[in-house]
Structure 1
Amino acid sequence: MDINKETIKNSFHQIYQCIFKPITFSESIENLNKKDRIRLLLKLSLFSFIISILIAGLIKILLYNFEYPFNANLFLRAILLYIGLGLFLGITSLFEFEYGIAFGIAFGTSCAIVFGGLIGENLGVVDTISIGFAFGLPLGILTIDRFKPSIMKNIKFAIFFSIIISILFIFVINSSATKKYDSLEIIFLNIAFMFSYFRIFHILPHLIQYFRAIILSNEPFNIFRNSPIYWDEVIIMPLPFLSKFLVSLTSVNRSEGLKEIEFISARRPTQRQAASSALLEITIQDLGKFDSVKEIAQVSKNLSFLSAFDLSLEFNNAVRNIENISIEAKTYFDSSSKYNKIRTLQILLADIKKFQNILTATKGHTGYKFHSVAYKWYQIIEDENKKFIEIKKDIFEEIPNPYIFGTPVRTDDSTNRKIFVKRDDIIGEIESNLSNISQKPTLFLYGRRRVGKSSVLINLPGSLGKQYIPAYIDCQDGRTTESTASFCYSLSKSISDALKDRGSSSENSSLESFQKSPFTTLGNYFDVLEKTLHKEEKLILINLDEYEKLEESILRDTLPITILDQLRNIIQHRKYFVVLISGSRELSEMKLPWSDYLISAKTIKLGYLPEDATRTLITNPIDDFSLNYDGGVNGAAVNRIIEVTNCQPYLVQALCFELVNYMNIKQRKEAKLEDVNAAIGKVLDSANVYFYYIWKEECSENEKELLLWLVKNLPLTGNEKDINSLVRKEIIEKVNGGYKFKVELMKKWIEKNELL
């Protein structure tokens, strides 16, 4: 080891860092390997020995002047003992916790100085105070790694160690030392230990700097950066007025002040609560400045600075509620409808009232701090609402639009329960097949695009008996088809979640556990699960929705073909599992031999809605639906919807959605035939993707030619195979010896887009 001026300087600086800045020190050596770390520890131990000799020697010289004897042999042995003990602790804790080297060096240095300087002397209280101080410094480093932001855990640890030190002195040192330590001296030892452990000695200089910054407001940042919070990373005791100090900095320069808060939050874990309190105070000050709904609508922009911080759960939840209220306020301003404005104000009042209730139940400062904001905002919204009271009676009350198209209808939302048309025939057929456990078949739910397959599968839990556990797996989800491990994990997680929803307990393995042996891990999970299923007499229904995506992943080599072997294994050997796949293509249309793997799959065809159910969906989708139809449920307007959609679920929902919006614009509540025709024009645009997919992806060039002939009302002639293909795809149908579009809207879309 080359020892030069720079080496000596760096080594002394690193020892200082070990005692006062262990976080910075540990970060500076994080790229060192084990061998280099041990070499560094040995080097620092050498310089620690030198420092201890110098400082302890000065203590001895000072005491010698007061006629205390000096025993050089005892002096050196004490220093070597504690430097060696520090070296031992550093090596043994090197990879046990983050600040192992810092702890070892700090322990060795502080104890070597104290015991080397005082050993052999009988200084009474001075002895115990010094020893308590020597133990406190390094143990503070140990606990910031173990209990980083928890002051209570640090206090408990300090008390525990204080008791250990007291016992050590009472029963060990007193039994061997010539000088006996009395109770008062033991008390002073514990006080000194606490004083050093929590680094309470920093409070006075911190307060001096704080009040200097308040008085000399022209240089607050320089003063702050020359205060104990910058000197020492192990100040466990919460520094008084630190949060106010930080808030005052932001009032001088917001961006620089926030940087200091971020510094405290990231670099001073034991003072993180002060940083959080400062952020809370700044946030409350900002939010308290808003005096109108327009300003409330801009809140999310003003809270963007919080994204850089790791907020507490309570603080984060409060901010999220504030942002949601702000979004609603923006909706209020963006709305051109007076009715929607009134409705949004009612939602805002309800949301703020709910927020107030949440704050009442929130522990700590967050709850009562945000209460003032919530109260003020409630008054602002209420004042805004009063402006509409007089004119409310003259405002058209808009028709609620419950229709959903493009996404599955989920009945877990109470507003959607009625617009989900339960397919009793399909549910009955599925349940009938499940009931015969000795001959349970594989099920294939087949239906063309947008007929409601996913809606049926997602809502199976509410439709089947409790003995059946439907586990829904969406093969369109990239996480499912990302790899073999992710597929097996998704399958197990879906089953586990489904069991929990049905009141059964089942813990699936983590994704990491599937990485090495996915099929083995899945099989082991099934083995354990089958015992529970047998005991509880339950059956798992594995619903693989959009199975075509599974094939695409296999053909791209994202998933192996053995996935299908695994499904076959489940079908053949798992008594309490049934596999159901669903898709818009028949098995014969697929490139892979699905029929070979699924073993006599029974097809359940999902077609269009029954006409009576469709009429109910059109005229009474939810309770208190305020749109009426000219002629009633069997009138011309409703008949026109039936006629152009042929009860195709997606198109019925889409057309009704457009009709409700159109009627709200016209501010009328009775739809006539001409209104339906106007909505038809709109749905050809809003459902364009649906029609385009059929034209582009499902039809061959020959089939397109046939459709163009049909649009021109010409009789279809040509390849019977192409005609039959269009019939099978439910694009056309045979009627009275001829052919026509199964859904008239498809014909209108071709005409509108000038594909002739």
Structure 2
Amino acid sequence: MTPIPLDQIRLRWSHHKSALWWLGLLYRRPHIFRATIDKSEKIIKNRIILFFVCINLYSHFIPYIFIISILMRFILHGFIGIPTSAFPPPSNMVENIYFHLFNILIGIAVGIAVGIAGGITVGIALGIAGGIAGGIAGGIAVGIAVGIAVGIAVGIAFGIAGGITVGIAFGITGGIAGGIAFGIAFGIAFGIAFGIAFGIAVLRVYYYLFHLFFVWPKANGRLYIYHPVAWDNLCSIPFRGLDQLLLAYVDHTNEEGRKEIERLIDTYPSQRMQALQAKTALIARDASKEKNLSKLDSYTYKLPEGEKKFLKQTPKVREMVSEICQIQRRLDTLNRPFFREPIAFSLIKEIESFQDRISGFYEPLASEFRKAAENWRQIAQKQWEEAKAVIEKKPTAQVFRAGDPVDRGQEAFIPRHGVIGEIESQVMLSTGCPGLIVYGRRRIGKSTLLKNLSIFLPSSVRIISISMQQAQAFSSTESLIRLLATEIQYSLNFKDINTENLNDLQTFFKFLTQCNQHLQKEENRLFLGIDEYEYIDRKLGERVFSNDLLATIRESIQTHRQLTWVFVGSHEITELSHAEWPSFLVSARTIVVPPFSEAETRLLLTEPLKYSPWWEKDDPRRPRFDPTFWGNGGIERIHGEAGGWPHLVQLIAETIVDLINDEEAHEVSPNLMERALNKAIVRGDTVLRQLMHGECKLPGEWNYLRGFRARDTQAIPEDEELYRSLKRRLLVEEVGGEWKLRVPLMQRWLRERG
């Protein structure tokens, strides 16, 4: 309905329905009632109008006060039998009626006085104290709320609602208790009166009886719009089971239900906890429907937090769900069934562990997330069964990969113990390491060494490495030092300095000094790896960097003994031409990464995943290869054909396993080995071309290598530079006073594709 404006309400029958509408709004939505007053210029400018608005509204409710008072007095005096205070007692019906009517009228008068007059008095005082004319009307409203109804004042910042509402309540109770107040049961009567008033105006306890019909025996979401919480903003007592009713409402009307939960959280303090429980349960239910387990944390990050009950446990839930997501994301990166199967199995175990742990949490976390986890477990179970089924159909695991730096978790990997031992002994020198140059030809395994070094060095050694092929590394000196500083800061959790302020070598050196002091205090060391460091020399030639960068690094090597600068590259320092590198790195130690030994090749081919974290040490499911799988003398043949070059060993092994699976063979025959070698030079054409032709920089170097197309050996070149270059590149070896290609696979490529 469209009610008559508040400032136009009069004591007329035609206005009665509108007056009741305003009183109802006042009772259930007092903030809207207050907003209406604030928008009325008449009421704001003239507080007398406010007084009459209160009187008029109150007067329209007097008949109901009268009727309710009669009914309540009948119950108290007639049904319960509480005696009246009349002395002498009424001798006939007329006197009895007069007695009760008189006390009811006194109650109504008291309601007016306390509910309106008292509130207005306080309101005027507050308005004057505010010092602004327009604020007096608001002050009156606040005064009524504060002076009349504590419960309403708590619910409303500024509201005239309390004055009228509790005035009505006091009117009711005054009418009920007026005759008892001076009777022999004064204390009991006053308690009853106050209890009824407080219950109606503040606590609204009587709603609880109706609430039970909404939630028992089962929450009925379709009826939620009729629940008191949906239309009354001042229900002070939390409704037990309201969270289930809200969830049922979401099931009935999804969008409106979710909005209602947020409304209660934002604007309804007394029901907030129930709404938070509903929101938490809803998040769990949404997460349970997610088919992609890697996205689960996008739901749990929405979980509310707090200091009470389940709210203080939500951060732990996020942490546990994040662990599930991380395993799923790891699984998503794998496309080989032999790797997917153990990780999918570990995902199942992680979810089952989650179910066990969440059971001890507060509700609704325990029940809702346990149900959700059961759905997640079924998804993980399906993934595991799919991977397992593929394994059963495809018995030979493809774990070999010739390409980017090896990931030991899912690809064939062996540690280079000799190199690692040298690095450790240098890094752990008591006087500090004077810098390292880790040298090895292309595709010899340097980047793989860096990537997997952390598990083989002491825990006190923090490792960071950057590649100079990153755009941020080679764009400018400023971007390089910021990249280094950011990586160092992250590794050391060093937050005492803002890396954004590092814009020159001077501030960078100060930063390194602070890091060194921090490391010294913590008794740690920092391994600072610069991969593909030859790019620094190239950028020196292009004048992107200056020699000041090398001077700063040299000074850091000499000063910061807890830091070890490690330069990793495929060129010897004497090959770099744009700076006097030997002068700047005069004290640095050189460590050479050699090709595989035959023992290392054998370990790679038989125990390729020995160092993978995804299997226990003796897990029978971990892929292994019996030496006989590779055929008679097969391991030695592969090592010899590749010349121990790690990339080429992986290339040949990868090709062999693919052929084995394609042909459903069980071991490598001589014929299959030969076909695999021919196929490997096609697959590895790019890398073989780079190693053979791309690195030829001297006049006549490529022509000399091309000579091996027609013959197996050639005379050793007389040119000293050519001699040193070919030896340095590990391409040749001496046999009977002549040279032959050290890597037969390269000669095969040269003759077929070179």
TM-score of the two chains, using structure 2 as the length reference: 0.59
In the alignment, what sits opposite 2:676?
679
Residue 570 of structure 1: how far off its partner (Å): 0.5
Corresponding residue SS for 2:442: coil
C-alpha separation in 2, matches of 1:55 and 1:342? 77
C-alpha separation in 1, matches of 2:316 and 2:564? 44
Which ranges of structure 1 fall in alignment gaps of 5 or more residues?
1-15, 26-42, 88-107, 119-125, 141-182, 288-298, 499-505
Distance 1:249 1:704, change over 3 A: farther
Residue 444 (1) aligns with residue 437 (2):
yes
Structure of greater Rg? 2
Residue 368 (1) aligns with residue 382 (2):
no
Q: 590-599 or 313-322, which moves further after superposition?
A: 313-322
1:127 to 128, 147, 157: 147
Residue 78 of structure 1: how far off its partner (Å): 2.4
C-alpha separation in 2, matches of 1:566 and 1:692? 38
Corresponding residue SS for 2:443: coil
Corresponding residue SS for 1:670: coil
Q: 637-646 or 579-588, which moves further after superposition?
A: 579-588
2:156 to 113, 130, 137: 137
Give the percent of matched residue pairs that are identical in Structure 1 and Structure 2. Answer: 20
Residue 450 of structure 1: how far off its partner (Å): 2.1
Residue 729 of structure 1: how far off its partner (Å): 3.2
Distance 1:215 1:518, change over 3 A: same
Contact 1:45 1:83 in 2 (8 A): no
C-alpha separation in 2, matches of 1:387 and 1:427? 39
What pairs with 1:238-257 in structure 2 (closer than 5 Å)? Answer: 241=242, 244-245=245-246, 248-249=249-250, 256=255
In the alignment, what sits opposite 1:81?
129
Contact 1:734 1:740 in 2 (8 A): yes
Corresponding residue SS for 1:127: helix
Residue 420 (1) aligns with residue 439 (2):
no
What pairs with 1:12-411 in structure 2 (closer than 5 Å)? Answer: 50=45, 55=50, 58-59=53-54, 76-82=124-130, 111-115=139-143, 117=144, 127-129=147-149, 133-134=152-153, 136-138=155-157, 241=242, 244-245=245-246, 248-249=249-250, 256=255, 260=259, 271=275, 274-284=278-288, 286=289, 299-300=291-292, 310-311=302-303, 350=349, 353-360=352-359, 364-372=363-371, 374-375=373-374, 398-403=395-400, 405-409=402-406
2:602 to 597, 606, 615: 615
Distance 1:111 1:448, change over 3 A: farther
Residue type at the aligned position of 2:744: E
In the alignment, what sits opposite 2:176?
none
Corresponding residue SS for 1:671: coil
Residue 436 of structure 1: how far off its partner (Å): 6.0
C-alpha separation in 1, matches of 2:137 and 2:504? 53
Residue 567 of structure 1: how far off its partner (Å): 1.4
Contact 2:280 2:364 in 1 (8 A): no
Q: Encode CA deviations 1:555-605: one digit per residue, 9 max, x unaligned.
A: 788877654343122023224433221112333444642614334433322
In the alignment, what sits opposite 1:582?
568
Which ranges of structure 2 fall in alignment gaps of 5 or more residues?
1-25, 59-108, 160-189, 304-313, 611-617
C-alpha separation in 2, matches of 1:328 and 1:739? 48
Contact 1:483 1:558 in 2 (8 A): yes
C-alpha separation in 2, matches of 1:465 and 1:304? 35
Residue 652 of structure 1: how far off its partner (Å): 1.6
Residue type at the aligned position of 1:690: V
Contact 2:123 2:142 in 1 (8 A): no
Q: 534-543 or 594-603, which moves further after superposition?
A: 534-543
Distance 1:50 1:661, change over 3 A: farther
Contact 1:471 1:495 in 2 (8 A): yes
In the alignment, what sits opposite 2:709?
711
Corresponding residue SS for 2:591: strand
1:655 to 641, 652, 655: 652
Q: Encode CA deviations 1:89-114: one digit per residue, 9 max, x unaligned.
A: xxxxxxxxxxxxxxxxxxx9865522
Distance 1:136 1:601, change over 3 A: same
Contact 2:437 2:590 in 1 (8 A): yes
Corresponding residue SS for 1:580: strand
Distance 1:611 1:738, change over 3 A: same
Residue type at the aligned position of 1:710: F
Distance 1:67 1:629, change over 3 A: closer
C-alpha separation in 1, matches of 2:562 and 2:331? 52
Distance 1:439 1:630, change over 3 A: closer
C-alpha separation in 2, matches of 1:227 and 1:594? 84
Residue 420 of structure 1: how far off its partner (Å): 1.9
Distance 1:626 1:113, change over 3 A: closer
RMSD, matched Cα: 6.4
Residue type at the aligned position of 1:277: A
Contact 1:20 1:233 in 2 (8 A): no
Contact 2:437 2:567 in 1 (8 A): yes
C-alpha separation in 2, matches of 1:444 and 1:342? 40
Contact 1:470 1:542 in 2 (8 A): yes
In the alignment, what sits opposite 1:744?
744
In the alignment, what sits opposite 1:730?
730
Residue 748 of structure 1: how far off its partner (Å): 3.8
Q: Encode CA deviations 1:206-227: one digit per residue, 9 max, x unaligned.
A: 999999xx9896x99xx69x99
Contact 2:693 2:702 in 1 (8 A): no
Contact 2:215 2:241 in 1 (8 A): no
C-alpha separation in 2, matches of 1:251 and 1:558? 65
C-alpha separation in 2, matches of 1:184 and 1:722? 111
C-alpha separation in 2, matches of 1:612 and 1:628? 15
Contact 2:641 2:744 in 1 (8 A): yes
TM-score of the two chains, using structure 1 as the length reference: 0.59
Q: Encode CA deviations 1:464-511: one digit per residue, 9 max, x unaligned.
A: 56776555445455666677677556545655776xxxxxxx641277
Distance 1:210 1:675, change over 3 A: same
Corresponding residue SS for 1:509: coil
